[in-house]
Structure 1
Amino acid sequence: MKRILPLTLMLAMIYLVPGLAQPPCGQASDEPPGCVMCGPIYIGSTGPYSPGLPGPTFPCGSIENNFWLTIIAGSTNMSATILASNCQNGQGVQLLIYDQNLNPVSTCFSSNGNNVPGNVQASGLTPGELYWIMVDGFAGDICDVTITVTGGVSTGPPDPPGPIMADPDISPICPGAIVCYSIDPVNNATDYEWVL
């Protein structure tokens, strides 16, 4: 029995760790703005997408199967690193960051048909503003991708809270009555402070 417990714990960790590496924002989008990255890492694929908006300018090449993500700038500078793996054609990917008017705000990365890691640099950003990351499979290549954003990722401020609910929901509430107050969970909030 003592030997089975450590083995069980080890197997549980092997199966749980990949579950922790899921995209923090859900599914990317075929068109901007895409999902908002709630952390610095996104894991996904260029597979399910079709050609979409390349923006007024796309200096990296042609667009075949791009997807979009949104990031909130936490500083005036940021960089994004992309690592492609399991590419069906070995061609790799392309990456560029746009503002909300589809103007490029970063350098451009293109694997140029070689499946190599890449990096783009963006500067002159406005903290708190939304920016769009576009990823495309080079020449339509379908790859798994890991994107890591550094130097200024913000999860953004908490959403406004919803209504305060009382249980029991009666009015008026008599002095000495025991009432439980609650609100629905608030996106991006980690702590709640109640003041009576």
Structure 2
Amino acid sequence: SREAARAGAALAEADAAERRVVDKVLAGRYLQEAKLEMVVVRRLMKDSEDGLRAMPSRAVWHCQQAVEMALKSAMLRTCGLTEKEKYGKGDNSLRELAQSLRSASAMTEQQRRAQQLPMSDDDMAWLKQAYLAARYPNASRCDVPAYQYGMADAERAIGLARNCLHWATHLEDLPEPGSTAASAQPM
């Protein structure tokens, strides 16, 4: 029947959305994009010759983007991403990805080392808030989001982004999120 075919197609679509895909070409593109975000950050942190001032609040937002791109790059290169993880839900994506990696069962020493993400939960929460507060007046404690973050905030974000880029570039392997100790045993 038509209903059974639709139900089967919906089930297959849901299964495909949860399937992890490793894509080393796309991983390289994500990493390159993260590096380009940092080029933008450097430009935003300088007063320009034509009188425009530095924009640390925008630099913070671009650092958040660099961190997210680097994290997704690392996962695409090693353990894979699901469609949901790849496209995420904006500000929630970063913390969800990190939590899924931290809670996965590592099978090798390389995976255990890679689970030591280069930022704390507090840093993740701060970047999550920055994702919105640096751009939207209703998410900011300032009337103008461009004034939400200062130079010290931007330097903090730059440090987090640089550490995450280094981590993503040099890690060898990541455990598959959703794996448990029982499912992670080698056969």
TM over 0.5: no
Larger helix proportion of the pair: 2
Larger strand proportion of the pair: 1
- TM-score normalized by the length of structure 2: 0.29
* Higher RCO by CA contacts (8 Å cutoff, separation 6 or greater): 2
